[in-house]
Amino acid sequence: MRNIFLVIRREYLVRVKKKSFLIMTLLGPLLFVAFYGIVIWVAIGSVDTKTVQVLDESGLFKNEFKDNETLKFAYLDSSIDSAKAKFKGSEANALVYIPKNVIKEPKSVRIYAAKNVSMDLKSEIEKVIEKEIEDIKLEEAGITHKILEDSRVNVSSETISLSDEGEKTSSSGAATVIGGICAFLIYMSVFIYGTQVMRGITEEKTSRIVEVIISSVKPFQLMLGKIIGVALVGLTQFVLWILLTTALTSATSAVLSNKMSKESPEMAQEMEKVQKGMPGPSGMPGGNVENPVAEVLGAINSLNIPLILGCFLFYYLGGYLLYSALFGAVGAAVDNDADTQQFMLPITLPIIFSFVFAQFVLRDPDGTLAFWTSIIPFTSPIIMMVRIPFGVPAWEIALSMVLLVLGFMGTTWLAARIYRVGILMYGKKVSYKELAKWIFYK
Amino acid sequence: MSKSKRAVVRPLFYFTTNHSILDAHNVTLIRPLITLHFTPGKYAAHVTADYIDMNIIEVRNVTKEYSNHIALDDVSINIPKGCIFGLLGPNGAGKTSLIRIINQITGPDKGEILFDGQHLNQSHISRIGYLPEERGLYKKMKVGEQLLYLAQLKGLSQKQAMEKLKSWFIKFDIKTWWDKSVSDLSKGMQQKVQFVSTVLHEPDLIILDEPFSGFDPINANLIRDEILELKQKGSTIIFSTHRMETVEELCDNIALIHKAKKVLDGPKKLIKEQFKTHTYFVEYKGDLSGLEDIYTLTPEKELENGYRRTNIHLGETASPNDLLRDLLPRAEIRSFGENIPSMSDIFMRSVNEVPEA
């Protein structure tokens, strides 16, 4: 036991002391925060007011175009030709021309602009015109303005998950995002740390230190020590990432809301609500500003974060242990990094498949594919993490966890059999047939 | 290791004797210590026999088989305590397999190994130091950290390891290496570090597989002196090597393995005795004609100043004195002596005698 601890300590310290570990640990949260900042910035920051001139010959749209943050409308009274001539000298971004017979010929509406107008502007204008024409036609058909007003409802659905704990507001959007992120992190870490184990073993083999070490430590202890050591490195990295990201995002949010309270008090309120975990504005009646970021961030708070975090750690460890043992066996079987390719494929395929399956499971988190792939140990670490934010029956999680534990015990046993023979084989290219023989050596 | 239960009464005086029991090859099997205790008030003498295990390692009928070949075939070897033991054999003979079994890296298929009279087990690992032929260090680790790590794996505490390392660093004058990365050291320097790691925990048994490969003559000498010093301090050293000059110089006992079988073992002197061919050389001036009727003469070699050298094989009955008597009237003798077979000769002869499998 003392020896295995010594091995773990060495493997851990050697990696944590590396510069690349420090860089990755700092860079990860910075990238995340940069991304987070950009999303918020784009959502709230790019308030660039555009002026649109409207030449309404039909007279139907008086005051129908309402000013908002991004658009200001100015009504013109001249003829189209003089308006066009004047437009070039003005600071307006676009000129909308609505001919007299717009109701009969809706396609005759024209938008003039110095450059191409954005899709947003075009659809905004079209929407107003379409709605007005629709209203007029409906009224002509005998539907009064009042009936029309009543018939207009604003639907923003709330998904409610029914569980034993009662009804709880959930957000399939947030679940998708969180599930996706977890799956991706596990996918990446299995690859990154799995190959680290493999490299470490090949390094011991090529530098010929392995025989010295295994004259003091049992090969199995050495392999297990390395796997656990690297797992702890991964855990350290995740914990640091979570801490640093939380600290940095709070700081970023504070800075942003501070900046916004000067520029736009309304938005600052939104941000505060988001931070306090209140539901986004779209869920509230009379919410006048659509803010999808706030909705997602708000909904994330509605998820069972401790369960997700706990499961994430379990499936990260389980998935990592299952695959790193196999990576370790490959590292022991070959003489140098270049030779690993031929044995890598069967290991990487299930990981890549799980990642591909994850896209389908995101769309149908309770389907047959989702069920089976989240039970089978080789795919469960990634798929189960996709499903958990959507809510999974406890027995399915339990079964999947037990099978995962059995799975990594199995792969570790298998890897140990290959390992103990492989590490003492120098300068020999092995085939699958030989690997199989090693497994059944006494 | 004493296995007997001594009489509780302190004897007035006692008499001891020890006579080793030798096997067919004159190798010590056990040395019983017979102690006769004469205790007052009792007429009879207490006789206890103390069996001292003379062997640090006893390999008993060990067989090791790999999927496509037999590495060791019913091999039995005893390695006496306190000697330098040469484990010889051509490449692929099975030496490394045997060493790995002693190091508990692999286990034997059949047979058993005794370490200091006990069945080989995990507790013996810290009493063995092993320098494998395929050896190396962690390239990116610092020398000091690395040696501390290896010492702790052998059961030393951090503090003990530190103290011992300090004295070795002073002894080898390598204090400046402590914080150097191994990859910054030359190959010879790395070998020194490896040697320190092998003997740092003061093992009872040191196994060195081709220890001098890669050393320049100065460092090889340094290591050789260290080995002799370790032997003085009571360690047993196993050398696995093809270098016969090392064996000639250092080894007290040897075993020769060829094609997975032990073909020869015992004290070097006795083996040399065994391989004597009753051949004498003579350097002389004169004419030896007539001698070829009595003895077998091998072709002469011309030396400087008209001297010649001839090897003369005595028959079973003749003695060197008979030969001298026959030589004296015929020639002026400058030099005369028995041809002692070199280890290299013995090695070649033993290996070639074994029929091809």
- For residue range A352-400, list pLDDT tens digits in order: 998 888 888 888 888 888 899 989 999 999 999 888 888 888 899 999 9
If asked whether residues B29 and B140 sit together in one domain, one would say no
Contact yes or no for B252/B268 (Cβ under 8 A):
yes
pLDDT at A280: 40
- A212 and A355, same structural domain? yes
**A344 touches A330 (CB < 8 A):** yes
Residue B310: give its domain's CATH number: 3.30.70
Instruction: Clarify whether residues B263 and B121 are in a common domain.
Output: yes
Q: Quick check: is A213 in a domain?
A: yes
As a whole number of angstroms, the distance between CA A173 and CA A300 comes to 9
Rounded Cα–Cα distance for residues A185 and B235 (Å): 54
Residues of B in contact with A216 (CB under 8 A): 125-126, 150, 153-154
Q: Is residue B169 part of a domain?
A: yes
Q: Is residue B124 located within the same domain as residue B201?
A: yes
Contact B129, B198 (CB under 8 A): yes
Closest-CA distance of chain B to residue A334, Å: 16
A189 assigned to some structural domain? yes
Minimal Cβ distance to A207: which of B137, B150, B152? B137
What the block records as the tokens of A122 is 């075009």
Query: What's the half-sphere exposure (Cβ side, CA atoms, 13 Å) at A359?
Result: 4
Residues B285 and B254 in one domain: no
Closest-CA residue to A221 (of A423, A372, A69, A5)? A5
- Do residues A16 and A60 share a domain? no
Note whether A213 and A293 are same-domain residues: yes
Count the domains in chain A: 2
Report if residue A71 sits inside a domain. yes
> Are B264 and B330 in a shared domain?
no
Question: Quick one: B198 and B256 in the same domain?
Answer: yes
Minimum-distance CB partner of A209 among B126, B130, B138 = B138
**Residues A225 and A88 reside in one and the same domain:** no
Same domain, B60 and B147: yes
The confidence score (pLDDT) of residue A273 equals 52
- Find which of A5, A6, A17, A212 to mutate to test the B interface (most B CBs within 10 Å of its CB): A212
> Rounded CA gap, B165 and B169, in Å?
6
- Interchain pair B134, A208: CB under 8 A: yes
Tell me the H-state helices in A73-171.
80-89, 119-140, 145-151
**B121 and B239 together in one domain:** yes
Q: Please name which of B193, B182, B71 lies closest in space to residue B131, comparing C-alpha atoms.
A: B193
Query: Domain check: are A7 and A87 in the same one?
Result: no
How many Cβ pairs closer than 8 A exist between chain A and B? 60
B134/A211 touch (CB, cutoff 8 Å), yes or no: yes
Q: What is the pTM of this model?
A: 0.72
Nearest by CB to A216, which of B136, B137, B153?
Answer: B153
Helix axes A292-300, A172-206, angle to 10 degrees: 70
Same domain, A54 and A36: no
Question: Alpha-carbon torsion A322, A324, A328, A330, what sign?
Answer: positive
In a domain, A130, yes or no: yes
- With CA atoms as reference, report the closest residue to A305 among A109, A114, A174, A147: A174
Same domain, B264 and B340: no
Residues B216, B297 within the same domain: no
Q: Provide the residue range defining the domain that includes A185.
A: 2-41+172-439
Is A15 a domain residue?
A: yes
Same domain, B98 and B217: yes
Within chain B, residue ranges assigned H as helices are 95-102, 143-153, 158-171, 187-199, 217-232, 244-250, 268-274, 320-327, 343-353
| Residues of A at the B interface, defined by Cβ within 8 angstroms | 3, 6-7, 10, 14, 203-204, 207-209, 211-217, 219, 424, 426, 437, 441-442
Say if residue A253 is in the same domain as residue A106: no
Last residue of a domain, one of A148, A180, A197: A148
A220 CB-near residues (< 8 Å, 6+ apart) = A416, A419, A420
A60 and A182 fall within a common domain: no
d(Cα A169, Cα A157) in Å, to the nearest integer?
A: 11
CA end-to-end distance (rounded Å), chain B: 42
pLDDT recorded at residue A226:
94
Residues of A within 8 A of B67 (CB-CB) are 437, 441
Write out chain B's pLDDT in tens, 357 residues. 444 444 344 555 555 554 555 555 545 455 555 555 555 555 444 444 444 558 899 999 999 988 778 889 999 999 999 899 999 988 888 898 999 999 998 889 999 999 988 899 888 999 999 998 888 899 889 999 999 999 999 999 999 999 999 999 998 888 899 999 998 988 888 888 999 999 999 999 999 998 887 778 888 888 889 999 999 998 999 999 888 888 888 899 999 999 889 988 889 888 888 888 888 888 888 888 778 778 888 877 888 888 888 888 887 778 888 888 888 888 888 888 888 888 888 888 888 875 544
Residues A188 and A111 in one domain: no
Q: Provide the shortest C-alpha distance from residue B122 to chain A (in Å).
A: 9
- Based on the fold, state whether residues B163 and B227 are members of the same structural domain: yes
Residues of chain A with pLDDT under 50: 164-169, 276-290
Are the C-beta atoms of residues A229 and A10 closer than 8 Å to each other? Answer: yes
Question: How far does the CA of residue B260 sit from the closest CA of chain A (Å)?
Answer: 19
Helix (H, G, I), strand (E, B) or coil at B162: helix
Backbone torsions φ then ψ of B73, nearest 5 degrees: -120, 100
B180 inside domain: yes
B349 assigned to some structural domain: no
Cβ neighbors of A48 (< 8 A, separation 6 or more) are A70
Classify residue A353 by burial, with Cβ atoms within 10 Å: 0-12, 13-18, 19+. Answer: middle
Residue B47: inside a domain: yes
Helix (H, G, I), strand (E, B), or coil: what is residue A109?
coil
Same domain, A192 and A317: yes
**A161 contacts: CB under 8 Å, gap ≥ 6:** A167, A168, A170, A391
Contacts A3 to B, Cβ<8 Å = 153
The structure tokens 């676009």 sit at: A94
- Note whether residue A155 is domain-resident: no
Minimum distance, in Å, between the CA of residue B316 and any CA atom of chain A: 50
Q: Of A116, A148, A180, which marks where a domain is finished?
A: A148
Number of other CB atoms surrounding residue B74 within 10 Å: 14
Residues B255 and B15 sit within 8 Å (Cβ to Cβ): no
Residue that the structure tokens 């001098």 belong to:
B212
Rounded Cα distance, B181 and A23, in Å = 22
**Dihedral sign of CA atoms B263, B268, B272, B274 in order:** negative
Assess if residue B355 is contained within a domain.
Answer: no
Tokens standing for B69? 């070949």
Same domain? A222 vs A324:
yes
Q: Is the same domain home to A288 and A432?
A: yes
In a domain, A210, yes or no: yes
Say if B21 falls within a structural domain.
yes
For residue B139, the chain A residues in CB contact (below 8 A) are 203, 207
Q: Which residues contact A418 (CB under 8 A, 6 or more apart)?
A: A329, A332, A333, A435, A438, A439
CATH number of the CATH domain containing A81: 3.40.190.10
Among B242, B272, B302, which residue terminates a domain?
B272
User: Of A67, A13, A339, A407, whose CA–CA distance to B149 is shortest?
Assistant: A13
How many domains is chain B partitioned into structurally?
3
Partners of A204 on chain B (C-beta within 8 Å) are 138
Instruction: Return the pLDDT at A367.
Output: 85
Domain that holds residue B204: 56-272
Domain boundary residue, one of A148, A181, A200: A148
A217 occurs within a structural domain: yes
